């Protein structure tokens, strides 16, 4: 079997190339061809020696993911559905804004965490994506967008691991993918513009701080353990006190940063004033000392099996104001790409597309401090 070169970060590619008897800088050239130029055909890589090109053709390929569908929204949002085999499909969403382009990337087909308000969670877990399948989403989106704009100028400035799956339950594939995204010879995404979102896999938060300290978003959704246990089942394994301690340790490793806490607003469940107050207490005292935090409130996107409702707009506003009054930068996510979600519901039923990533995603925050950047813009 030929290896997929998308499975490697640059160190991995250096390992592969030195195994073929090549110098490390050849691997860097190859890495640039693949990730910066979007090349798949070794015969186009004219600055590599013919002997290397034939060795590569025999042992390797650049295997992108087949695109099942692409939906373009009137607001510029694009959603791709990629085939990952065996009836599984994953989504990526591109969200253009004035000052940045954000790609939302999936890490697993399905998810084992099983959050009550999440359609991916309801779908169950199929399998982890490989490094190559994670990177292929960015590879495809970036080169499609460059081709469309007719120039080699970079389009995607921010990546958020907020598609399907729990990235920290696919750690071994995740880290090389993140490294390739950060690499100046790859996508050159800056550390603060690359966000891993997690439901709270405490030991892996610690490992990420050591191995690849990118921006961290924690999906909180509740200020107390009894409530969080019912919404985010992994809380039973890693309760709030442990999660907040892990957040502090993460910040100790990157002292000038903050953690973004995501909070899905569920009508009558977690959107009352006492919940806002609970969050404030948790941030100030939950870990013994204060955690440097921003909040991102996400109006719930309902789906039939959830039995939950979206909080009313005035409730979201009041909740945000409460956090804001206590000095916490708070943004409210606006849904993008509504018109393509309708199309998404009409997709072929034989693929397990029951996610709705674009509905979770944001445009610019519509609240609340005049100078507030969204959580993607660190
Ligand atoms: N598994 C990771 C990353 C993927 S989910 C995590 O949970 O953080 C990305 C974000 O979308 C999470 O904050 C999640 O809580 C939110 N989300 C999931 N389902 C949603 C829904 N139906 N409406 C709004 N946000 C949702
Ligand atoms: Fe998994 Fe995140 Fe959905 Fe929870 S919210 S089920 S962790 S994808």
For 145-200, how does the pLDDT look when each residue is reduced to its tens digit (9 = 90+)? Answer: 999 999 999 999 999 999 999 999 999 999 999 999 999 999 999 999 999 999 99
Which residues approach ligand 2 with their CB closer than 6 A?
A: 111, 113-115, 118, 120-121, 165-166, 199, 219
**Ligand 2 atom, smallest distance to 264 CA:** 5
Which position has the token pair 């930068």? 329
Annotated catalytic residue 344: yes
Annotated catalytic residue 91: yes
The pLDDT of residue 346? 28
Expressed in angstroms and rounded, the spacing between residue 162 Cα and the centre of ligand 1 is: 7
C-alpha span between 233 and 167 (Å, rounded) = 16
Mean pLDDT of 52-79: 95
Mean pLDDT of 288-292: 89
How does pLDDT run across 236-269, given as a tens digit for each residue? 999 999 999 999 999 999 877 899 999 999 999 9
Percentage of the chain modeled with pLDDT above 90 = 82
- Whether 364 shows a pLDDT value over 60: the answer reads no
The pLDDT of residue 291? 93
Distances from the Cα of 158 to the Cαs of 23, 162, 250, 336, 376, in angstroms? 32, 12, 21, 16, 7
Percentage of the chain modeled with pLDDT above 70 = 89
Lowest mean pLDDT among 103-117, 126-140, 296-310: 296-310
pTM over 0.85: yes
**Ligand 1 atom, smallest distance to 296 CA:** 13
- Whether 372 shows a pLDDT value over 50: the answer reads no
The pLDDT of residue 286? 87
Radius of gyration of the chain from Cα atoms?
21
What mean pLDDT value characterizes the chain? 90
C-alpha span between 177 and 185 (Å, rounded) = 13
Give the confidence band of 20 by pLDDT, cuts at 50, 70, 90: very high
Is 366:102 a contact under the CB 8 Å cutoff? no
Q: Token pair for residue 239? A: 């309760």
Q: What DSSP character marks residue 312?
A: P
- Whether 360 shows a pLDDT value over 80: the answer reads no
Q: How do 100-104 and 88-97 pair as beta strands?
A: antiparallel
C-alpha span between 225 and 251 (Å, rounded) = 22
Q: What DSSP character marks residue 310?
A: B
Q: What angle in degrees, to the nearest 10, is found between the helix axes of 10-19 and 171-182? A: 100
Distances from the Cα of 30 to the Cαs of 1, 11, 154, 160, 358, in angstroms? 20, 12, 19, 26, 33
DSSP code string of 225-293: HHHHHHHSGGGGTS-HHHHHHHHHHHHHHSTT--EEEEEEEBTTTT-SHHHHHHHHHHHHHTTSS---E
**Ligand 1: does its nearest atom lie under 6 Å from the Cβ of 118?**
yes
- Whether 362 shows a pLDDT value over 80: the answer reads no
Mean pLDDT of 122-126: 92
The pLDDT of residue 354? 41
* 310 strand-pairing partners: 266
Give the confidence band of 289 by pLDDT, cuts at 50, 70, 90: confident
Length of the chain: 378
How does pLDDT run across 305-345, given as a tens digit for each residue? 889 999 999 999 999 999 999 999 999 987 766 666 533 33
Give the confidence band of 1 by pLDDT, cuts at 50, 70, 90: confident
Which position has the token pair 């592969």? 16
Catalytic residue chosen out of the listed positions 91, 133, 142, 166: 91
Q: Token pair for residue 64? A: 């992108």
Expressed in angstroms and rounded, the spacing between residue 31 Cα and the centre of ligand 1 is: 32
The pLDDT of residue 133? 98
Distant-in-sequence, close-in-space partners of 238: CB < 8 Å, separation ≥ 6: 200, 201, 202, 246
**Ligand 2 atom, smallest distance to 164 CA:** 8
C-alpha span between 273 and 285 (Å, rounded) = 18
**Ligand 1: does its nearest atom lie under 6 Å from the Cβ of 300?**
yes
The pLDDT of residue 359? 62
- Whether 112 shows a pLDDT value over 60: the answer reads yes
**Ligand 1: does its nearest atom lie under 6 Å from the Cβ of 204?**
no
For a ligand 1 pocket test, name from 137, 170, 219 the mutation site with the most ligand atoms within 8 angstroms of its C-beta: 219
Coil, helix or strand at residue 296: strand
Which ligand is in closest contact with the Cα of 161?
1
- Whether 79 shows a pLDDT value over 70: the answer reads yes
Q: Which residue has a Cα nearest atom 3 of ligand 1?
A: 162
Is 137:92 a contact under the CB 8 Å cutoff? yes
The DSSP element (H or E) to which 132 belongs, if any, is helix 131-149
Q: What DSSP character marks residue 191?
A: G
Expressed in angstroms and rounded, the spacing between residue 296 Cα and the centre of ligand 2 is: 16
**Ligand 1: does its nearest atom lie under 6 Å from the Cβ of 265?**
no
For a ligand 2 pocket test, name from 118, 195, 205 the mutation site with the most ligand atoms within 8 angstroms of its C-beta: 118
C-alpha span between 182 and 127 (Å, rounded) = 25
Which position has the token pair 């401090």? 369
Give the confidence band of 98 by pLDDT, cuts at 50, 70, 90: very high
- Burial (CB < 10 A; 0-12, 13-18, 19+), residue 96, is middle
How many DSSP H helices and E strands does the chain contain? 13, 14
Lowest mean pLDDT among 72-81, 160-169, 361-370: 361-370
CA dihedral 276, 320, 104, 304 (to 10 degrees): 70
Phi, psi of 350, deg, nearest 5: -85, -5
Which ligand is in closest contact with the Cα of 232?
2
């Amino acid at each position: 079997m030929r290896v997929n070169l998308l499975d490697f970060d640059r160190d991995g590619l250096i390992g592969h190339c030195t195994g073929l008897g090549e110098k490390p800088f050849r691997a860097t050239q190859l890495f640039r061809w693949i990730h910066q130029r979007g090349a798949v055909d070794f015969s186009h890589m004219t600055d590599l020696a013919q002997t290397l090109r034939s060795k590569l053709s025999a042992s390797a390929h650049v295997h992108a993911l087949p695109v099942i569908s692409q939906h373009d929204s009137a607001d510029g949002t694009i959603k791709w559905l990629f085939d990952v085999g065996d009836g599984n499909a994953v989504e990526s969403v591109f969200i253009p804004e004035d000052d940045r382009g954000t790609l939302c990337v999936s890490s697993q087909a399905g998810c084992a965490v099983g959050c009550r308000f999440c359609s991916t969670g309801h779908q169950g877990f199929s399998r982890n994506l490989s490094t190559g399948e994670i990177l292929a989403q960015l590879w495809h989106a970036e080169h499609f967008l460059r081709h469309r704009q007719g120039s080699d100028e970079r389009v995607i400035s921010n990546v958020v691991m907020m598609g399907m799956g729990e990235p920290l339950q696919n750690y071994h594939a995740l880290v090389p993918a993140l490294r390739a995204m950060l690499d100046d010879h790859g996508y050159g995404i800056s550390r603060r513009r690359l966000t891993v979102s997690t439901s709270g896999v405490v030991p892996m938060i610690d490992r990420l701080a050591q191995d690849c300290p990118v921006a961290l978003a924690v999906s909180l959704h509740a200020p107390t353990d009894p409530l969080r246990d019912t919404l985010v089942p992994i809380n039973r394994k890693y309760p709030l006190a442990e999660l907040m301690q892990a957040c502090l340790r993460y910040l100790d490793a990157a002292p000038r940063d903050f953690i973004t806490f995501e909070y899905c607003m569920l009508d009558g469940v977690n959107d009352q004033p006492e919940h806002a107050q609970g969050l404030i207490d948790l941030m100030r005292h939950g870990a013994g000392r204060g955690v440097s935090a921003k909040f991102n409130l996400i109006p719930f996107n309902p789906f039939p099996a959830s039995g939950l409702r979206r909080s009313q707009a005035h409730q979201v506003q009041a909740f945000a104001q409460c956090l804001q009054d206590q000095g916490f930068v708070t943004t409210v996510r606006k849904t993008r790409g509504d018109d393509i979600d309708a199309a998404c519901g009409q997709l072929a039923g034989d693929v397990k597309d029951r996610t709705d990533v674009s509905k979770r995603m944001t445009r610019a925050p519509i609240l609340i401090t005049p100078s507030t950047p969204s959580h993607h813009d660190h």
